[in-house]
Amino acid sequence: MTLSKNILVAAIGLLFIPFTACKKLLDQAPINSAYAEVFWKNQQDAEQGAAGAYALVRKALTSNTEYNQNMSHFAYGSLAAFEFQDYDQYDVASLVKGGDGFNSADFIGSYLEKYQDWTPYYKVITQANIMLHFIPQIPDGQFTSAPAPTRNRYLGEAHFLRAFAYFYMVRLWGDVPLIMSYDPDPAHAQNIPRVSEKIVLDSVINDLKAAVTLLPWDLASVNDKAVRATKGAAYGLLAHAYMWRNFLNKGANTADLTNAIAAIDAVEQSGKYILLPATDYHKVFHGKSAEGVFEINMQAQYSEQQIGMGFYYSTLKRPYLDKESKLDAPNQDLINSIYEEEDLRLKYFFSSLDASNQFDVTICKFAGLNGENIVRNQQSAEGSVDANMIIMRYADLLLLRAEAYADLGNTGAALKDLNFVRARSNASTLLAEDYGDKKVLQEEVLLERTRELYAEGQRWYDLVRTGFLTNPDLNGFLTFPQDRYDAEGWKWPVARALFTSNNVLTQNKFWLGKVR
Amino acid sequence: MHRKLLLLALMGLLCLQAWAQERKISGVITDDKGGQLPGVSVKEVGTSNGTITTPDGKFTLTLKGTSKTLSVSFIGFETQTVAITGNNVYKIVMKTDQKSLKDVVVIGYQEVKRKTVTAAVSSVKGKDIENLPSPSFDQLLQGRAAGLAVQNFTGEPGVRGSFVVRGNTSLSRTSSSIRTLSSPLFVIDDIPISSDDAAAFDNTGTNYIAGLNPNDIESVDILKDASAAAIYGSRGANGVVIVKTKRGKTGKPQINLSAYAGMVEVPKFETVIGGAEERQFKLNYLKQKLTFDQQETKIPLLLTDSLNPAYSGNMDWQDFFFRNGVVQNYDLSVSGATENINYRVSGNYYDEDGTIKGTGYKRYTTSAALGLKMSQRVNVNSLFRLSRGDRSRGRGQFPGEDVIPLTNGQYLSSLYNLSERDKQNLVGDYPGSRDKNINDDITASITLNYDITPQLRFASTGSVQSSVNSRDIFRPGALSLLGLAYAQSSRSRYENLNLDNTLSYYTSLFNKQHHVNVLLGNTINNVKNEFTGIGSGSQGNDNLRVVQGYNKDYLLYRDAYGNLVSGSDYQSAGMLSFFARVNYDYKEKYLLSFAYRADASSRFGRDSRWGYFPSASAGWNISDEPFMQPFKKWIDLLKIRGSFGITGSLPNGYYLPFNTYNTNQGGYGGSSGVTYNGVNAVTPNFRDGVAQAGLTWEQAKQSNIGIDATLFNGRLNIIFDAFNRGTSRKLFDLILPATTGYDKVNTNAVDIRNTGLEFNIQGRVMSPSSKFQWNPGLILSFVKNQIVSLPDGGRDIIVSDDNLGMTYILSKGRAINEFYMMKSLGVYASEKDIPFNPYTGEKLTYWNGNHTVQAGDFIWVDQNGDYDVWDWNDKVRTGNPNPFCTGGLSNNFTYGRWSLQVYSTFTLGRDIYNKYMSDRLIGMVNNYATIAAIDPNSIDSWRKEGDHTKYAEVIPYSNKYYYQFLPFSSAFVENGSWFRIKYLNLSYMMGPKFLERTKLSKVQFYGVIDNVAMFQKSSVPDAEAVDERGTYNGAGYPLPRKFTLGVNVGF
C-alpha cells in the first residue's frame, strides 16, 4: 500500500508539472534567426542593418529578367539609350531594338515583366524606414564609437538610401506610392495609391538635405570609401534630384538649376574628389577611388563580385573572360560620331572597334584595357570582373553642373567644366565662340556625358531629362518618336503583378491598354 | 532460411509419439440450429493434443493432460472452452461468432465497444496486413479503411506515398511536394507524431513510419469525424490514425517465427530499337521528314559517324538502370503472460531491393513490451523499440538529385558508348563513392495505471521518440568535370516528448442500466528538430571521404533547393493541453458522448495561443428497441449515430509570432557573396513574410451521420457514413502590396469544404458450417473537394510548378489544384478547318501571333475570341487531379486449411496529366537523334492532310515547333482511374496431426503476389504512379511486382 501511496503522490506531482513548466513550454523563441524584438540593440546591429540596406540596393540594381540577365541598372540606363545596336538575348533585346510596334525601348517585350516591377526598391525603403525608427532607440551606451556622430551617420545613410530608391523609381515610373514611416504591422497595410512624381521628388530632396547634415565627408574606415554614403554622395544625388525636378517643371524654376550647381560646388569645394589620370581609368571602375562619389560594392575582395549573368559578364569575352561569345553589340555609329580620334576614352573604353562583326566590338572600360580588373579564382574559372557599379563619380557631377550652367545660359562656366573633364582624356578644348547657341551647348553637354559615362547606366536619364531622346542626330541616327515622348512613353509601365496586390494603382497613361 | 524450416518440420514428423494410458472421450459438435459441423478443432488445453471433427461432426480424443478443459474452435464461430466432467460423451453447440459486435475500437486514450461507439472510426486489424511485402503499414492500408485515400505513387522502397483522410485540405500558393496533401496525425503507441513536423528537417527522405514493422501492429483505428478526433483537438482536423502494437497475451510462452522471401520484378518496359538498327531506323525516318538543307545540318554525328567508337554503342538504358531484386522479411517474437506479468519481445529484419540499381531499403527492429502488475491496484506497462532504416539511394546523389539521372525520365539513344566509369557512376557502383542514408529511431514509453478505486483509474504515460536521420555522401573527384570531390555529412534529429495524464471514472447507475464513463486528462508535448551538417567540394584526395581539410570556398551552405547543407539548425515547439470526455449510455441503447479539448501551442502569439475544440455525438441502437423484436431474426444490430464538432490543425511553422531577420543577405544575381563590403548584411525576412501576432488554428467543423448494421447472424456487416467537413481559417500566404517591402503574410484566409460518403460492406456468403467459406468485402469512399473562400475577394490564384512547368488553379467553388491550361480539342485534320479572323482575314495564330496555325496543329480553343491563343485569357480549368472515389475490394476464400485472399484496390474519377508523353514528343522534336528510339508510328500524331489524331504533328528538328508539347494544353490530360488487383495471397495451414507430431502450435505456408494486374484508362505506364498533383512525368519510380513465399511457425 505504501507503494501505491508513493505512486499517488508522484502522480499528483506529475499533474502539477504542466503549470510550472508551462511558461518554458509555451514561450519558445527562435534561436535559428534574429527577430525584431532582439535586433536593433547596439552599434553592430545598426551596422549590419545598414549593410542589409545597401545589399538590398545592390539586389535592386542587379535584378533579373526571366532569363537571368541580372542587370536592371544597365538595362534601364543604357540598353534603351542607343548605346547598343544589338543585344543577343531575347528578353532585353527588345529594349535595344524594339518590338511590339516600337522601334526601340519596347518596355512591354515578352519576359520583361520583372523590370516593370518596383518591388525591389520598396524593400530598400522599408529597410530605411526601419532604420530610421529603431536606430534612434539604441542607447548611447551600446555604441562602440562616439554615439552621436555614429548614430547620425547611420540615420544619414537611411535618409540617403530612401532618397536613392525613390529617385530611382521616379525616373522610371514617375508617380509612385510614397511610404515615409516605419509600419509596425505590415500584415494589415493599406493599399497606397501613387502620388505625384513632384511630391515624391520633394521628399527625395528633403531626405537628401537631412542626409547632408547627418553624414560626414570622410568615413572612419577607408575601406568604406564611396561604397557607403557620405556628405559628398548626398550632395551629388541632391544635384541629380534638382536636375530632375527642373526637368519635371519644364525649366519653370531656375532655382533648381542653381541649387544643383550649389550642391556640386559643395562637392568640389570639399576637396575630397579628383579626376584620376586617364591611364588610371581602370582604378576608377574598380572602385573606391578618389573619383568615386557613390558606388555599389561589387569587389572580389569579399567575394562580392558578379560572377555570371550580370552586365559585366555578358558584355565581355576573350581576352577578358575565358568565354567565346558575348551578348552586346555597342552602337558603332554613335561611338564613331561622338569621339575625336585622339580622345583617350576611345582607347580605354572600347576595344576591337574596327571589328567587322558588331558583336566583336567590346566595351572594356570595366574590365580595364589590359584586363586589370579581371580576377580568376576557383569560383570562376572563366574569370570575373572585379569592378564596382559606379552610380556617381566626380566627372559625372562636373558634367551635370555643366548641364545646369548650359541650361542657365552660362556658356563660360559650362565649358569650364566640360573642358576640365575633356582635358583628362586628351580631348580638344571646346571654345566659347562655337557655342553661342544655347541648344548647341546643351547638345554638347549631353554628348560629353555620353562620351564620359558610356554604358554606365546614365544615358537614358540624360536623354529623357534633356529631351534629346527624340533627336536622331545625337543617338547614332536612331529615333524615339516625339509623340511617345510627349505622352510620357519614356516612363516604364507598371507591372501587372503589382495590381493584383494593390487595387488602387493606376497604369501610366502611355501604357494603358498596351500591357498584356 | 526456408530450407531450414522445412528440415525442422520434417524432423518433427519423425518424432515418436509418447504412449500413455489415458481416458478416451467422444462427442458431436453442432451449430445452434443443430447442423453437424465438420472440421472443428478440438484441443486439450495446455497440451498439443487435439483432433478435428469428422464430416458428421463427431470426434474422439484420448486425453493426455491434466487441465480438464477442452478448447473448441472453428472459423466463423466463437471459440469455446468446455470443462471435462465425468462424462465421456459430449454434445457441444457452437455459437455463431458475431465478432463485429464485440470488437473494441480505440477512440483516443480509451477503448470502447464497437456497439457503443458514436463516432466514425475505421479499423484495420493487424492480421489483415500481416506478411505482405511492403516496408510500411501506411501503404498496406490502401483500400482497407473507408475514408482513407492512399496512393502509393512511388515504387521506391521506404519512401512515403500519399495518405489522406476524408479529402485534401492542403493548398498553397507555391508548389511544394511535401505539403501538397494534408496528412493526418499519427498516434503510435500513445505518441502523437505529425508527419509535417517529422519531415521538417528530413535529411534522408525516408518515410519516417517505415521504422515500424507492420507485423508488430495489433490494430489501426482511423478517427475520421470530429467526435472521435476532437480529443486530439488542435491536430485532429485531418483525421487521427491510432496504431497499437502487439502485447503479450495470457497463456504459455509463444514463440512465433515468420519468414517470407521472394522476388521483386521490374515493371514492363517499353519497346525501343537499339544499336545499328536504331541508327538505320532514325536515319531513314529523318531522311523522310527533313528537308535537304536540314539533312545537311541537323543530323548529328551520333547518327552519321558510325565508325566513332563513342557512338557505336548498343546500350539498353532500361536494362541498365533496372534489375530484378529480392525482398525478404524475418520476424521472431516471444510473448506470454502470467497473472502478474506480460511481455512480448520481437525482432525483425526486412530487406527489399529497389528495382532501380543501387536503391533499396533495409530495416532492423527490436522491440520489447513489458507489463507488470505491481499490486492489485497498480500496474506498469513499458515499451521500448529500436529501429534502423537503411535506405540506399543509388549513386552518391547531390541533395535533390533524382535516382535516375535522366531529364524527365526520357531515356537516351542506345548508340552512346559509355565508359565503364560513366556506367558505374550512373548506377551508383563507382568504387569509392558512398551514400549512406540511415534512419535510427528510438521509441520508449512507460505507463503507470493506478486504480484508486475499482471505478476510478489514474494513468500516466510518458514517452519519447527520437529519430536521427543521417546522410553521408562522397563522390570522387573523377566524377566531376572540374575534378572536384564532394563530401557531405549531415544529421537531423527529431525528438518528440509526450506526457499524458488521465483520470477515468466508470460507473453504472440505477440497476446498471445507465452507464457513465468520464475521462479527464492533460498532455504536455514538445517536439524538437535539430540539424547539423556540412558539405563541401574540394580538389581533395579521393581517399578522404569525409568533410575534412576542405577549402572554405567550396563549402556548400545551401543546396540548389535552398535546404541547409552546411550549418546547424534548431527548432522547438511545445503544446499544453487539457481534455475531457463523457460517454453515457442507457442500456447500451441510447448513446451520448461529449468531448472537449483545450490546446495551447507555442507556435502562436501569446494572445491567440489557446484553442478550444468541443464535440458532441449521439447514437441509437434501434435494434435493441422492443418494436424491433420481429426483425430480431435477421437484424443483429442497427445503429444510427451522428456527431458534430470542431477540430484543428497546427501550422508547419514553429515561430509564427516572430518577425524574423535574415543574416548574410549580401547575395545578388550572379554573385556568391554574402556580405556587403565585408559586413554581414541583415534584413527582415521579406521573402517568407511578416509575422502575424493574431494568427490562430486552422479549424475544421465537421458533421457526420452514420449507420452501423449487422444482419443475418453476423453474415452481413454494413457501416455507412456521410460527412461534411468545412475547414476554415486555413493558413495561406496573402501577397502584400509591394510597398510594405514584404512579399507575403501567412494568415488565416482560406476555407475548404470536403463532403463525402463512405461504405464498408463485409459479408460472409456461406453458412458458418460450410467447409468452403467466401467472405467478400467492399470499401468505398467518395469525396468532393471544394474551395469555399479565397482571399482578395475570391480572386483565382494560379500556382506554377517551376520544376514541372505545370500550372494549377485555385478558384472558389472548385477543387484544389485543378489543371489550368489551354483547352485542346484534338488536331486540325486539314487546312480548311482552321478559323480565320473575319475582320482581318488572317488565320488564327498561337502565341502572340508568333505561329500561324496549320493543319496538324492542336486545336486550342480561343477562349477570348481574339484570334490568338495562348495568352493569359485563353487558359481554362482542364482537369481535377483529386480522386473522387477510392476503395478496396477483398475476397477471402477458405476451404478447410486452404485460404485464398484476392485483394484489389482502386481509384476512380481523377484526371491526370501525361507529362511523360508530352516530354517524349518534345524530345522527338528537339533531340530525336539523341533520345531512345521509339517507333514514331506508335504515337497517334498527325501525319497527313485529313488525319484525325490525338497529338499534333511531330517533326524532328522542325522550325514549326511552337511549344505545342509543353504542359500548356489539355491534349495530355487523361482519365486517371485505375483498378489494381493488388494482392493474391494463398495460404495453407498444417493440420493438427502434423502439429502434434512436430510439437508446434501453428505452421502456415503462404505465397503472395503483390501488384498482380492493373486495369486503367490512361496511357501512362502506371496510373497510380502519378504524383500528388496528378502529374505523371516518367521520372518517378515505377511500382514493381513482387512474388513471395513464406512460412509462419508457432512453437
A vs B, Cβ pairs < 8 A, gives: 251
Q: In A189-308, which ranges are E strands?
A: 292-296
* CA-to-CA separations, B827 to A267, B436, B971, B973, in angstroms, rounded: 70, 50, 9, 15
For B790-818, the pLDDT digits (tens) are 887 788 888 888 777 888 899 999 999 89
Residue B140's CB is within 10 A of a number of other CB atoms, namely 23
B871 touches chain A (CB under 8 A): yes
What is the C-alpha separation between B153 and B142, in angstroms, rounded? Answer: 12
Q: pLDDT band at B397, cuts 50/70/90?
A: low
Would you tell me how many other CB atoms lie within 10 Å of the CB of residue B223? 30
Lowest mean pLDDT among A1-5, B40-44, B68-72: A1-5
Give the pLDDT score at A17: 56
Q: What is the mean pLDDT of the segment spanning B102-123?
A: 83
C-beta separation of B118 from B588 below 8 A: no
pLDDT, residue B7, reads: 45
Cell representation of residue A421: 573633364
**Average pLDDT value for residue range B843-854:** 84
Identify whether the C-beta of residue B573 lies closer than 8 Å to the C-beta of residue B603: yes
The answer to whether residue B8 scores a pLDDT higher than 50 is no
Structure-model confidence comparison of residues B591 and B483, the more confident one: B591
CA distance B1046 to B987: 9
Q: Which of B177-191, B343-357, B440-454 has the lowest mean pLDDT?
A: B177-191
The reported pLDDT for the residue numbered A481 is 95
C-alpha cell at B437: 542514408
- Per-residue pLDDT of A393-413, as tens digits, reads 999 999 999 999 999 999 999
Question: What's the CA gap between A155 and A149, in Å, rounded?
Answer: 10
- Give the pLDDT band (50/70/90) at residue A455: very high
> Would the pTM count as exceeding 0.80?
yes
Tell me, what's the pLDDT at B6? 45
The distance of B681 to chain A (nearest Cα, Å) reads 4
The residue with greater pLDDT, B75 or B691, is B691
Spell out which residues of chain A touch residue B682, defining contact as CB-CB under 8 Å. Answer: 34, 39, 45, 48-49, 51-52
Q: Is the separation of the CB atoms in A29 and B655 below 8 Å?
A: yes
The string of DSSP letters for B389-443 reads: EEEEESS-PPTT--SS-SGGGPPBPTT----HHHHHHHHT--TT-EEEEEEEEEE
Sign of CA dihedral A284, A290, A296, A299: positive
Compare B742 and B73 and report the one with higher pLDDT.
Answer: B742
> A47 and chain B: CB distance < 8 Å anywhere?
yes
Residue B899 pairs in a beta bridge with: B894, B987
DSSP E strands in B622-697: the ranges are 635-649, 660-662, 675-676, 679-680, 683-684
What is the mean pLDDT of the segment spanning A422-433?
95
Q: Which whole-number Å values give the CA distances from B576 to A20, B219, B332, in the listed order?
A: 12, 28, 39
**Nearest-angstrom CA–CA distance, B151 and B512:** 47
DSSP B177-238: GGGSS--PEEEETTEEEEHHHHHTT-SS---GGGGS-GGGEEEEEEE-SHHHHGGGGGG-TT
Cα–Cα distances (Å) from B792 to A189, A452, A479, B691, in that order, read 14, 50, 43, 19
pLDDT in tens, B303-335: 777 777 777 777 788 888 888 999 999 999 998
Q: Residues B16-37: pLDDT tens digits?
A: 333 444 678 888 888 777 777 7
Sign of CA dihedral B27, B33, B38, B43: negative
Residues of B in contact with A130 (CB under 8 A): 684
CB interface of A with B, residues 54-93, below 8 Å: 54-56, 58-59, 62-64, 68, 70-71
3-state DSSP assignment of residue B307: coil
> For residue A299, what is the nearest residue in chain B, using CA coordinates?
B677
Residue in chain B lying closest to A121 (CA): B741
| Mean pLDDT of the region A175-183 | 95
Taking the Cβ of residue B672 and every Cβ of chain A, the question of whether any pair is shorter than 8 Å is answered with: yes
pLDDT over 50 (residue B9): no
* pLDDT (0 to 100) of residue B120: 87
Give the contacts of B819 (CB within 8 A, at least 6 positions apart). B806, B807, B808, B809, B877, B878, B879, B880, B881, B911, B913, B970, B973, B1030
C-alpha cell read off for B194: 505529425
Identity of the highest mean pLDDT range in A303-307, A454-458, B960-964, B1032-1036: A454-458
DSSP state for residue B678 in the 8-state scheme: T
Residue B860 confidence (pLDDT) above 50: yes
Q: Identify the CA nearest to B609 among candidates B661, B570, B651.
A: B651
The whole-angstrom separation of Cα B819 and Cα B878 is: 5
Mean pLDDT for all residues in chain A: 92
Alpha-carbon distance of B608 to B601, in angstroms, equals 9
CA angle B674/B680/B685 to nearest 5° reads 80
Whether residue B113 is predicted with pLDDT greater than 60 in this model: the reply is yes
**Quick one: pLDDT at residue B12?**
40
Task: Count other C-beta atoms under 10 Å from residue A319's C-beta.
Answer: 14
Digit-coded pLDDT (tens) for B1009-1018: 999 999 998 8
pLDDT tens-digit map of B596-651 = 999 999 988 888 889 999 999 999 999 888 888 888 888 888 999 999 999 998 88
Name which residue leads in pLDDT, B929 or B481.
B929
User: With contacts defined as CB-CB under 8 Å, which chain B residues touch A117?
Assistant: 738
**Which chain B residue's Cα is nearest to A183?**
B740
A4: nearest CB among B375, B654, B670: B375
